[in-house]
Amino acid sequence: MAADPLLPVADALARILAAVPLMPGEEAPVSGALGRVTAEPVRARRTQPPVAMSAMDGYAVRAEDVATVPATLTRVGDAPAGGAYKGTVTAGEAVRIFTGGPVPDGADTIVIQEDVDAESETDGARITVREGAPAGKFIRPAGLDFKSGDVGIEAGRAMTARDVGLAAAMNVPWVMVRRRPKVAILATGDEIVRPGEPIGPNQIVSSNSYALSALVRACGGEPVVLGIAPDTIEGIQQLVRGAQGMDLVLTTGGASVGEHDLVQKALGTEAYGPGGLEVDFWRIAMRPGKPLIFGKVGGIAMLGLPGNPVSTLVCGMIFVKPAIEAMLGLKRPAEPPLRARLGAALGENDQREDYLRATLSWNADGERVATPFSRQDSSMLARLAQADCLIIRPAHDEARAEGEWMDILPLWGSLESL
């Protein structure tokens, strides 16, 4: 009997994104909002600047009084930042003003201090303006930056340092953000131990929980490591039951069909009981990462990732990262994929979409060049750590010559912590 066809990567991702829940909103202090995703628009609670203000140190005058220079005026007061001149500027008068000082009534321009000779810095002193200024020169009108009620930060945006500064300037002490999704992480397998623990002759050090925790945190989630489950149905069930209250469950290992691949058996309704695993799909047309499980266990969305560390992390980039971003309501502008020229020829591809670890360089024409590592074994985590990008090869792709353009997934920015 023919095996079920493998699900394309794009279809698998669409089904995951449609199934994961959107996190509710919660208030966060603006001082702690960096990286948080806004749940609603952030609106200004004041107008900035609140009144017309000077952009320079100088004198506030009437433009008609300095239309012909030199012009002699009388200083009648001053307007420092945080203060104000209470009177009205009339013909022949000037008010000493400083950057951020409110422009007094009657004045409609600023002549900078470098263009003025003053008898003294006292009221009643005569000043001579050597260079005039048209109306509105060096004046910041009220609301130049934003007005009360304006949307300064849209919903669905991960707050940057710039956004934090803007929210504070808008007099917003608290912002409504999406709660960080709680992501349970469970590694499986008798062959793995934690770093630093005694290692048996046939065991390896577990890295998947640590790498996924870092990825989840970098994407804005809150990782909760459940531990390492032994290759027993009872052991897997016991730890998965500890995921109650989580928003997403990630398992690593045990997702294939071998004798010791027990995740589906342990979590199926027959063995697990009520709330057992409802499988949406299993096995996708992807390399590395074919034995991927997606469904719900205990009503919680679950991704069963392959156990090989490269497969785990590549699936994390392709599926876990977008899933967390969807749970946070993160909105990003659509961008075309990055492209690079191939640094080595590639043979034709099979039915699986391929993600090849590669290094980046630049040729004499300033074009990116992606050179895949000669060996792409999914157990070789060092190659992933050394890679600058993943070359994306479509399923059934034809053979490619060195120098051809290919789509790449860069491993910098939000993924550079990998």
Rounded to whole angstroms, how far apart are CA atoms 325 and 215? 12
Roughly how many angstroms between the first and final C-alpha of the chain, as a whole number?
Answer: 41
* 10-residue mean pLDDT series, the chain (418 residues): 76 97 98 96 97 97 96 96 94 97 97 95 94 96 97 96 97 98 92 85 87 95 92 88 93 72 83 88 93 93 93 96 97 88 96 96 96 93 94 96 96 55
- Residue 191: the pLDDT is 83
Q: What's residue 242's pLDDT?
A: 87
Quote the pLDDT of residue 418.
Answer: 44
Centre a 10 Å sphere on the Cβ of residue 324 and count the other Cβ atoms it contains: 27
The pLDDT assigned to 4 comes to 64
Q: Please choose, from the candidates 125, 142, 166, the residue with its C-alpha nearest in 3D space to the C-alpha of residue 42.
A: 166
Residue closest to 100 by CA, chosen among 84, 81, 113, 78: 81
- Pairing relationship of beta strands 248-252 and 182-188 according to DSSP bridges: parallel
Tokens of 29: 């202090």
Look at residue 257 in the predicted model and tell me its pLDDT: 61
Whether the Cβ atoms of residue 50 and residue 142 lie closer than 8 Å to each other? yes
Q: What is the pLDDT of residue 416?
A: 42
Question: Is 3.40.980.10 the CATH number for 9-23+180-327?
Answer: yes
CB distance 206 to 309 below 8 Å:
no
Q: How far is 76 from 193, CA to CA, in rounded Å?
A: 81
Sheet holding 222-229, edge to edge: 222-229, 182-188, 248-252, 300-305, 293-297, 278-282
What CATH homologous superfamily does 26-48+148-178 map to?
Answer: Molybdopterin biosynthesis moea protein, domain 2 (3.90.105.10)
Please name the CATH architecture into which domain 338-415 falls: Beta Barrel (2.40)
- In the chain, where the domains are located: 9-23+180-327, 26-48+148-178, 53-140, 338-415
Query: CB of 389 within 8 A of CB of 370?
Result: yes
Could you tell me the pTM of the whole model? 0.88
Contact between 369 and 340 (Cβ < 8 Å): yes
- Report pLDDT for 2: 47
CATH of domain 53-140: 2.170.190.11
- What is the model's pLDDT at position 232? 86
- Pair of tokens at residue 215: 């990825």
pLDDT at 222: 97
